[in-house]
Amino acid sequence: MGKGKIAVVEDEGIVAMDIGKCLTSLGYEIAFISDSGEKALEELEQTKADLVLMDVELKGNMDGLETALIVKDKHSIPVIFLTAFEDDETLAKINKLSPSGYLVKPFEDEELRSKLESVLRP
């Protein structure tokens, strides 16, 4: 049995594929991979996920912060943000949403494993 189903919402295809490979190697199942907030919300209506890895910058009309707010309110699924930006403004916006955590890209597989285990631990 797997460790859980993870949704990956990332606008860069190569990065999303790398994250997917890492998740699979760690024993997680990929619920879906999406490059926009709108697509991710549609997928969550059809597919169960235990956690969402959410990039802050996405394709489409919604950024990751807006999307995560809807995910938390409507689906009560924990969100871990992925961001390439460590500036105070970005981190303040992320922290305002009380996420389950965030990772600054690029991150190591071990950082991802540790963050997932801390959030999904029974």
pLDDT band (50, 70, 90) for residue 122:
low
Which domains does the chain show, CATH number per domain?
A: 5-120 (3.40.50.2300)
Distance set, CA 66 to CA 39, 42, 114 (Å)? 13, 14, 26
Residue 2: pLDDT above 70? Answer: no
Interval 73-88 mean pLDDT: 88
CB 80 within 8 A of CB 72: no
Closest CA to 18 of 102, 89, 26, 2: 26
Which residues, 6 or more positions from 112, have their beta carbon under 8 angstroms from its beta carbon? 19, 22, 23, 26, 103
For 28-48, the pLDDT digits (tens) are 999 999 999 999 999 999 999
